[in-house]
Each structure stands twice: as C-alpha cells, then as structure tokens.
Amino acid sequence: MLIVENLTKVFPGGTVALKNVSFQVEDGEFLAVIGLSGSGKSTLLRCINRLIDPTEGRVIWHDQDITAAQGQELRHIRRQIGMIFQQFNLVKRSTVLTNVLAGRLGYAHPIWSLFHIFPKEDYERAYANLERVGIPEKAHVRADQLSGGQQQRVAIARALMQEPKLMLADEPVASLDPVLAHSILRYLETLNKEDGITVICSLHFLDLVHRYATRVIGLKDGELVFDGHPSELTPEKFKEVYGEEAEMVTVSGEMNRYESR
C-alpha cells in the first residue's frame, strides 16, 4: 500500500505545486491522475520516487518512509518503482539494448556497470522484455531511429527491467497518436492485471481514464479535488477539475476507426 500524507511542494521561486495532498493506493490498483497542465500531476508523481523532494508531508510505501530515505536506501526503493515519461526520456544516441539494460542499474555492479558490463541474466532479461513489448528486432538500433510509440515501448521495457512493484507513468501517451496511446496503455493494463503491478498514471483524455483506470484522483492548482471511481466522474465533477470553460474531448472516434480494422 502507498500512503501519501499531507504532501506539499513549494518550488524555490515560490510556486506552490502541491497543497496538502493526501490519498492512499492499494496494491494492484490502476490509479489515474487528472488535471490541467500545471495542476501538479508531474510533481506528485516525482515526489513519490523522490525525483523531487517534497517540502512537507510523507510518502509511505510498504511501511517504508520514502521521504526519509537517503543514499543507498533511497536507490533501493527507487529500483522497485518503475517510471515512464511523456518524452520517453531515452538516451537517444545509445542503442535500444543499452537503454533497456540501464533499467537494471539499481541492481548492477557499481563498477562493472560503468563499463557497460552486465551479468548474462540481465541480457536475457533485456531480450525477454523487448520481446514482451513487441520489438525484439530493434535491440541493436540506436534509440533515435525508432518511432515515438516504439520509443515508449523501449521505456516500458527499461522500467520492467527493474521488476517493479509500482509503476509511475507521467502522461505516457500525451506525445503519441490515439492508436499508439491505446497500445501503450494496454501494456500498462497487462502489467497491472497479470503481474499485479500497481500503476499510477497521469492522463489527459477522459475516455482513456474510463477505459483503463480503476480509480481516479483529480488535482486542481495543487489541491486534491476528486477521488473516486471513473464512473463517478460526472460532467459536473469534470468541470470542477478542469474549470468551467472545459469541454470533454475524447479520442474514441478515431480509436474506433482504427480498431475496426
């Protein structure tokens, strides 16, 4: 179980990104985080694995206080938490295989890994994970040679190398077209259902939230304004999260057209 308690983040410039946010996530949930750009979604995800240090509050995961962890302890927590990003964050000039193996760094030998030397099992694991995301043939290609969807799959394979128990996904499909968006989210769904990995995923499109999430939280100006099942997300609630001007936009029309093929 992940417990987020009174999380507040104030950036050095004075911007308040999170205000006293509290919620809990049970193991095995697929939690969607919604909200406008700048509402604090990314900050929230990054506070969970301490890419950003929160100003106040605690994050407790499986009885470990992540916010208090330092050094090696923190790294050992991080390696159990996979993360994928909107911009994929691959090292573009490195090969796909190197990028995937990098997911193993938290486990690898601190010296040998500096010379790109990994145990044999890690290679096998890397090939297996590339197989799993459907691009085994791309192992020796440079990452910048891949399309956006393929790059995000490499990023998932990298996160899988960590054998994570929790997966953070920061708008993983915002840079992708609708078809690819679904295929990426289906991978996350499979991980969630088959491997029992908890997923916390920030999303933009409401139909994707309805389709994949088991629970939704909504952030507005850093404050938690919604917490419930996707079906509870009525137009009124939606306007509360996104503001009065907002209108629901879906990708379903296009999606159906592609899916009917």
Nearer residue to other proteins within complex by CB, 71 or 253: 71
- Determine which residue in the list 3, 51, 60, 225 makes contact with other proteins, applying CB under 8 A: 51
117-146 residues in contact with other proteins (CB under 8 A) are 117, 123, 140
Instruction: Please identify, among the stretches 53-61, 98-106, 191-199, 230-238, the one whose residues bind other proteins according to the rule CB under 8 A.
Output: 98-106
Provide the sign of the torsion angle of the four alpha carbons 231, 183, 197, 31, taken in this order: negative
Question: Nearest distance from residue 120's CB to other proteins, in Å?
Answer: 9
Q: Which is nearer to other proteins, 156 or 213 (CB)?
A: 156
Work out whether 172 is an interface residue with other proteins (CB under 8 A).
no
Residue type, 86: Q
Binding-residue total with other proteins (CB under 8 A): 42
Look up residue 67 and give its DSSP letter.
G
3-state DSSP assignment of residue 169: strand
Residues facing residue 162 across a β-bridge? none
* 220 near other proteins (CB under 8 A): no
Q: Using CA atoms, how far apart are residues 179 and 211, in angstroms rounded to an integer? A: 14
Burial class (CB in 10 A: 0-12, 13-18, 19+), 253: exposed
Cα(130)–Cα(125) distance, rounded to whole angstroms? 9
Contact footprint for other proteins (CB under 8 A): 12, 49, 51, 75-83, 85, 87-94, 98, 102-108, 110, 113-114, 116-117, 123, 140, 155, 158-159, 161-162, 168
